[in-house]
Amino acid sequence: MRLISGPQGGRVVLDGTPVLLLCSNNYLGLADHPAVTEAAAEAALRWGVGAGASRLVSGTMTVHRRLEERLAAFKGTESAVLFGSGYLANVGVLQALASVGAGRTTIYSDALNHASIIDGCRLARAETVVYEHNDVEHLAWTMARRDPDPSAPKIVVTDSVFSMDGDVAPLVELLELCRRTGARLVVDEAHATGCTGPGGRGAVAEAGLEGEVDVVVGTLGKALGSYGAFAAASHEVVELLTNAARPLIFSTAPPPPAIAAALAALELLEAEPERVTALQAGADALRDELHREGFDVAGSTTQIVPLIVGDAALAMRICELAIEDGVFAQAIRPPTVPDGTSRLRLAVMASHTKDELREAARVLGRAALQAGFRPGSGGPVAAATPSSRGRVRAA
C-alpha cells in the first residue's frame, strides 16, 4: 500500500515524493473542497460521527433521508436508498432481486463487470451466465438459448462506465432486449455519476433512459468525494431492497458526516456543471497527447484511460519509472484485470490542468520506452538495451 500524505487532490505527496495523482476516483476534485469538508464537520457536531444502528433499527437519520430524496431527483427515479458502500449495494441489489418470483432467477452479467457485481451474482445464489463484453447480440442469443420463457425471472446487470477500460455499455440496446424478454435491468453508475451525461447525471441519463432502468446503483465515494452508495429505483423496488437486501439490513447505517459531505458535493455538482465539462475536456486532452506518444487509447471515451501493457512486471516497471518522473499512475494486474492485459489505469480529475495532463502523457511515454515497451506496438521493444533506452528517453 502506497502512502498519500494530505488530502486527495490533483497533486499529492506519495511516500514522501510530490507527484501528479493520475489514479484517484476523486473525479471532480471534491474530496477536499471546503464546502464538502465543512459539511462533514458540521454534521459531526450536529448528528455525531456514527449512526449507531442499522437502517431498520434506529440508524435512519434526517440526513440520510434528505440525501436519498436528492439522489432520487438527481437520477430521475421515484426513490433511492443508501448503502454503506458500492460493493454492499451491488451485492444487496442482486441478492434482493433474485429472491423475487417463482423459480430460480438467472442473472446475465457482462464479462468485464466489477468484482462487486461478480460477487453479488455468487451470493444471490442465482444461475449466473456471463455474456461477452458489451455484446448485445451474444446476450440475446444466450438468453434465447437458455431461458426463452418471458415469465422466468431474469436479471441483466452491467456497469455503465467500465472501471478498468473507460468504455460505456450499450444501454439503449440492453433495455430494449430486457423489455422483449421480461428481464430486469440493473446498471452500476459508479464511474458515471458526476462524470458523464447532462449535468453529470450519468450514462443512463446520457442515453435518455432516466426512470426506465429497473435499478441504478451509484457511489458517493468517487465523483462525490465521500463514502457510501445508493440504489435508485421505483418506490416498489426500493421498498423491496429496504426489506430484503441483507447488506442494508445487517449493516450499521453510513456515518452522518460522510452523508452530509456527499449531499454538499451533490449540491456543488448541480450548481457547477462546468466541473463535468472540465473533466471531459481534460480526458480528451490526455487521450490526444497519449495518442501522439503512440499509445492506443481508442477504446476509452470517458475520464478513465487504460494503457494496456500486457505483462504484469512490465506494467509495474513503467509505473515505478513514472513515479520517479513525478506521475503516479497505478499498475493494475490480475486478478483485477484478465491475464495478459495488465495496464496503467489513468483517471483524470476535473482539477487537473490540460498542461499537467499533456506533460503526464509525455512522462508515461518516456517511462514506457525506458522500461522496454514501445507504445502502440503491443509488446516490448525488441532491441532495447540500457544504453539505447537512455538515448530513446532523451529523444
- The ranges assigned to domains in the chain are 4-31+274-394, 34-271
Euclidean distance between CA atoms 250 and 386, whole angstroms: 57
E strand or H helix that includes residue 34: helix 34-47
Catalytic residue flag (residue 163) = yes
Question: Residue 374: how many CB atoms within 10 A of its CB?
Answer: 16
Catalytic residue flag (residue 354) = no
Q: Tell me: pLDDT of 380 over 50.
A: no
Residue 155: φ, ψ to 5°: -130, 135
CATH architecture of 34-271: 3-Layer(aba) Sandwich (3.40)
Q: What is the pLDDT of residue 147?
A: 75
E strand or H helix that includes residue 196: none
Topology of domain 4-31+274-394, CATH = Aspartate Aminotransferase, domain 1 (3.90.1150)
Question: Could you tell me if 92 and 247 are in contact, meaning their C-beta atoms sit under 8 angstroms apart?
Answer: yes
Can you tell me the mean pLDDT for 175-187?
96
Read off the pLDDT of residues 105-153 as tens digits, 9 standing for 90 and up.
999 999 999 999 999 999 999 999 999 999 999 999 999 998 767 778 9
Read off the pLDDT of residues 344-378 as tens digits, 9 standing for 90 and up.
999 999 999 999 999 999 999 999 999 999 887 65
Which of the residues 79, 160, 163, 351 is marked catalytic? Answer: 163
Q: Which residue has the cell 451474482?
A: 121
Which of the residues 222, 251, 300, 352 is marked catalytic? Answer: 222
Catalytic residue flag (residue 191) = yes
Which of the residues 33, 64, 75, 191 is marked catalytic? Answer: 191
Read off the pLDDT of residues 5-21 as tens digits, 9 standing for 90 and up.
989 999 999 999 999 99
CA 198-199-201 angle, 5° bins: 75
Q: What is the pLDDT of residue 346?
A: 97
Sign of the Cα torsion 316, 320, 325, 327 reads: positive
Instruction: Calculate the average pLDDT of the chain.
Output: 93
pLDDT band at 395 (very low <50, low <70, confident <90, very high): very low
Reference 183, options 143, 223, 221; nearest CA is: 143
Question: Residue 273: how many CB atoms within 10 A of its CB?
Answer: 14
| Residue 252 CB partners (closer than 8 Å, separation 6+) | 50, 51, 52, 53, 54, 59, 84
Residue 332, CB half-sphere, CA atoms under 13 Å: how many? 20
Q: What is the pLDDT of residue 102?
A: 64
Euclidean distance between CA atoms 265 and 260, whole angstroms: 9
Euclidean distance between CA atoms 147 and 159, whole angstroms: 23
